[in-house]
Amino acid sequence: MNNIADISTAFGDARATDQSVIRQRTLKSSIGCAGVGLHSGHKIQITLHPAPADHGIVFRRVDLAGAPLIPARFDRVVDTRLCTCIGDAATGIKIGTIEHLMAALAGQRIDNALIDIDADEIPVMDGSSAPFTFLIDCVGVEELDAPRMVIEVLKPVEIEHNGCRVAVEPANGFHIDFEIEFASKAIANQRLDVSFGDGIFVNNLARARTFGFLHEVEAMRAAGLALGGSLDNAVVLSGDEVMNEEGLRYEDEFVRHKILDALGDLYTAGHQLQGKVTAYKSGHMLNNMLLQKMFADEDAWRFIPMRSSRAVRPEPASTPVLATA
C-alpha cells in the first residue's frame, strides 16, 4: 500500500459503499491573480484551475515552450534557501516560493489543482496566505467521487541540524507544535501548538506574514535577491523594532508564519499527514529532510482513507488554537 507514485485505485470500493469516507476536493472554477515576485521584483500571473481526482497539486510553466509540468512534491524540491523551490534538476526549470500558496491549499483542503504560472516564482502578494485563501473562497470548492487519502504516521521520525529540530510522531488528527527563538526582543521565544480542523487555518494562521531583518534584506538586495520585498509584503525588523507602521497582525505573528510555512512545506508530501509535528527553529530545509527520511522508511507511514468518524475529521470552526509561550 505504501506506493506514493500510484494510489489512485487504492480503496476504490469505498467511493460507492462507505459514506464515512471523506471525498477529495478541487476548485469549482478557474481563478487568477497577479503580483510581484519576492526575489525578482517582476510582475507574475498565476491561474488556479480545477483538476480531477488523484491529480494532486501540479504547476505548469506557461511561459516556457511545451508548458512543462512540475508536481508540488517533496521529491521535486531542488532548493530550500530562503523558500521552497520545486523543479527539474536536469533542465533547470523551477518554481520558487511555493510554500504560502501550498499552505492555503492545505488549509482549505484542496487536494487537486493545476496552477499556471508565467515565471519562476509565486508572487509574494502581502507575504501571507490570505490572498490565496481569498481566491479559493471566491470560486468555492467541489467534492470529487474519490476518497481523500491521508498519510498516517506509524512511528517517530526526527531530523536535527545545527541546533534545529523537527520531528513527526503518530497521533490522531494533524497537529503542528512549533517553537522559535530570536535575539530580537520583538520576537524572543514564541511557541504555538495548532490542531488543524475546519476554520483553524483561515481564522488563525492565513494572515501571518513572512518576516526578516533590515540588515538581511539589504544584504539580499546587494546579491540581487529580495528585489520585490517591501513593507507591503513582509514584516521587517530593525533590531528590536518592527518597522511596519501598522504593526503586527497577531501578537505572535512570527511563530504563526513559521507554522504556515511548515504546513505548506509538508503538503508537498502529496497528502495531509495524520500525526503530530514538533519543531524547534525548523525551516524549509529541515521540513523537506523530514519528509525525505519518513518516506524512505516504509515502516514509518501508510496511506489510509480520511473518514468522518476518525479523530482526523475537521473540528468546528470555533475550535481554538492552543498556545503556550
Residue 8 within any structural domain of the chain = no
b/e map 158-173, b = 16+ CB within 10 Å: ebeeeeebbbbeebeb
CA dist., res. 99 & res. 215, Å (int): 24
Residue 6 within any structural domain of the chain = no
Query: Is 284 annotated as catalytic?
Result: yes
Q: pTM for this one?
A: 0.90
Q: How many domains in the chain?
A: 1
Residue 283 within any structural domain of the chain = yes
Q: Where would I find the H helices in the chain?
A: 14-17, 99-107, 130-139, 200-204, 214-222, 253-266, 284-296
Give residue 168's identity as a one-letter amino acid code.
Answer: V
Residue 10 within any structural domain of the chain = no
Tell whether the torsion through CA atoms of 282, 279, 259 and 8 is positive or negative: positive
In sequence order, what are the beta bridge partners of 31? Answer: 48
Q: Which domain holds residue 110?
A: 16-323
Residue 2: predicted pLDDT: 63
CA dist., res. 317 & res. 288, Å (int): 29
CATH of the domain at 185: 3.30.1700.10
Location of C-alpha cell 526582543: 185
- Measured in degrees and rounded to the nearest 5, phi and psi for residue 147 equal -70, 140
Residue 176 within any structural domain of the chain = yes
If we measure between CA atoms, which residue out of 6, 1, 261, 237 comes closest to residue 128?
A: 261
Residue 253 within any structural domain of the chain = yes
Tell whether the torsion through CA atoms of 113, 64, 73 and 123 is positive or negative: negative
Residue 207 within any structural domain of the chain = yes
Residue 140 within any structural domain of the chain = yes
pLDDT tens, per residue, the chain with 325 residues: 465 554 444 444 444 456 789 999 999 999 999 999 988 889 999 999 999 999 999 999 999 999 999 999 999 999 998 899 999 989 999 999 999 999 999 999 999 999 999 999 999 999 999 999 999 999 999 999 999 999 999 999 999 999 999 999 999 999 999 999 999 999 999 999 999 988 899 999 999 999 999 988 878 777 777 778 889 999 999 999 999 999 999 999 999 999 999 999 999 999 999 999 999 999 999 999 999 999 999 999 999 999 885 444 333 333 334 443 3
The residue annotated as part of the active site, out of 39, 55, 175, 284, is: 284
